[in-house]
Amino acid sequence: MKKLIETIKNIWKIEDLRTRLLTTILLVLIYRFGSFIVLPGIDPTALTALKSQTQGGLLALLDMFSGGAFHNASIFALGIMPYISASIVIQLLTIAVPYFQKMQREGESGRRKMNQYTRYLTVAILAMQGPSYLINLSVQLQQAGSALPGGFWFTASSTLILCGGSMFVMWLGERITDKGIGNGISFIILVGIIARFPGAIIKEFASRLGDAGGGLVMFLGELIFLLVVIAASIMLVQGTRKIPVQYAKRVVGNKQYGGVRQYIPLKINAAGVMPIIFAQAIMFIPITLVGFSHSEAMRGFVGAFMDNNGFWYNLVFGLLIVVFTYFYTAITINPTQMAEEMKRNNGFIPGIKPGKRTAEYLDLIMSRITLPGSIFLAIVAIMPAFAKIMGINQAFAAFFGGTSLLILVGVVLDTLQQIESHLLMRHYDGLLKSGRIKGRTGGASAY
């Protein structure tokens, strides 16, 4: 406790870090406040059916990512996922389209152009998801004995408000990245997840308390299992394989350089939680399709992929995670560049010829360690389905692995790593007595 108090005092002494933390808290409070502002013309007391709809299935995850704004029919109801979906499309285009490949090689100016295209695409996605959300909202209000205001102008104005709300959330995320503690978009998602955790654990405790014959024992067992999954997730985020690199001796003047052996830490899961976020964004597409479709056959087919406890959903979700893990690792880790850097610094991997052979060796190692890492990531991601089968309520089961837990672990580790960097930079003790906190990527998040 004394160490914790001393660390908090040290954090408060650093003006830049203090300002960034206070800015982050302020922006988060603005986001949470906006998630309770209901769309104009909608009776908040008639949202009982919508809240019931988001208790399970894929809509429960969407509601979690929006921090409850979805079931509140808030101006932030569409959340940040449209921006992430647009980011996926743009990153895929950098592989398939030469124009975007050239833009990616242009450095900072190219990055700004790609960010601009991402925003344009986000607006286009929001323009489709807004009416779909209003159609679903209309159905849920009718079940509660209420009705959505009709007319073109209401639909147009509400869609515009929803689009503006999501773009404002994106802006808040960017400000957290620039002026706050960093990882803005991921931090926004984290806030939405944490907002649901207290209610989920209280609900599970209440349900177990009412069970006859060992309900509390079952609840304690669930907490222990949750801690085990969290520990496994941290190992997955931080796990590395070290590749030895020998640096040749060279003499410059009277000084000798090199002649030492170092290690390159290759992450088992170099992509972090991004494959899960990407895959989850893809799995949200059926919600939009159902909103626009009037075909019962279409609704039945797509409905199978909206049940996040069903076989087909988890199979496709797991396969997408494996694919996106390889994809994101490929665009994050460049074996050719690593080999060139080693050769330029007179470094080599023992037994491997510098240059092309080194790049091929590093690529082979990355492929080998990415496969088990991606499979383990997929298993952790679909763990909530097994928790639900074991009788755990849907809200609490979402924290037994899955997108929510991995995002929580990854973003928290990244944030703690950045705070520790500020402390060590100014010669204060870090957050831990021994060792350094390892983030999921060793730096800022992709968002």
Judged against a pLDDT cut of 50, whether residue 446 lies above it is answered with no
pLDDT > 90? residue 162 = yes
| pLDDT for res 443 | 35
- Give the pLDDT of residue 287: 63
Q: Look over the chain and give the mean of its residue pLDDT values, rounded to a whole number.
A: 79
Lowest-confidence region among 170-174, 274-278, 439-443: 439-443
What DSSP designation does 43 have?
-
Confidence class of residue 330 from pLDDT cuts 50, 70 and 90? confident
Whether residue 288 has pLDDT greater than 70: no
Tell me if 316 sits within 8 A of 305, measured CB to CB.
yes
Residue 301: pLDDT band with limits 50, 70, 90:
low
Name the token pair of 73. Answer: 């029919």
Q: How far is 320 from 92, CA to CA, in rounded Å?
A: 14
Residue 164 pLDDT greater than 90, yes or no: yes
The pLDDT-based confidence of 165 (bands split at 50, 70, 90) is very high
Does pTM surpass 0.85? Answer: no
Distance, CA of 44 to CA of 53 (rounded, Å): 15
Q: What is the pLDDT of residues 338-368, one digit of tens each?
A: 888 888 877 788 888 888 888 888 888 888 8
Which residues partner with 264 through β-bridges? Answer: 243
pLDDT at 304: 64
What are 79-102's pLDDT values in tens digits?
888 888 888 888 878 877 888 888
Under 8 Å CB-to-CB from 375, ≥6 apart: which residues? 322
Find the length of the chain.
Answer: 447
pLDDT tops 90 at residue 30:
yes
C-beta of residue 397 within 8 angstroms of C-beta of residue 387: yes
Fold of 2-425: Preprotein translocase SecY subunit (1.10.3370)
Q: What is the pLDDT of residues 221-277, one digit of tens each?
A: 888 888 888 887 777 777 777 777 776 665 555 555 556 677 778 888 777 777 887
Lowest mean pLDDT among 168-172, 276-280, 356-360: 276-280
pLDDT at position 289 = 61
**Contacts with 124 (C-beta within 8 Å, 6 or more apart), sequence order:** 86
What percent of the chain shows pLDDT beyond 70?
84
Q: What is the mean pLDDT of residues 377-397?
A: 82
Range 178-199 average pLDDT: 83
Where do the domains of the chain lie?
Answer: 2-425
Question: Read out DSSP for 195-217?
Answer: HHHHHHHHHHHHHHHTSTTTHHH
Between strands 240-247 and 261-267, the pairing is: antiparallel
pLDDT band at 433 (very low <50, low <70, confident <90, very high): low
Quick check: 247 and 261 in contact, CB under 8 A? yes
Average pLDDT estimate for 410-434: 71
Distances (CA, A) of 303 to 184, 306, 315, 394, 398: 33, 5, 15, 18, 20
The answer, yes or no, to whether residue 445 has pLDDT greater than 50, is: no
Model pLDDT, residue 296:
55
Summarize pLDDT for 98-155 with one digit per residue, the tens. 888 888 778 788 888 888 999 999 999 999 888 888 888 888 888 777 778 877 888 8
> CA–CA distance from 96 to each of 90, 93, 99, 283, 325 (Å)?
10, 5, 9, 22, 18
pLDDT digits (tens, 9 = 90+) for 364-386: 888 888 888 888 888 888 888 88
- Indicate the residue type of 346: N
Evaluate if residue 70 carries a pLDDT over 70. Answer: yes
Distance CA 234, CA 240 (A): 12
The predicted model gives 300-310 an average pLDDT of 66
- C-alpha 118/C-alpha 61 separation (Å) is 23
pLDDT at 211: 73
By the 8 A CB rule, do 304 and 85 touch? Answer: no
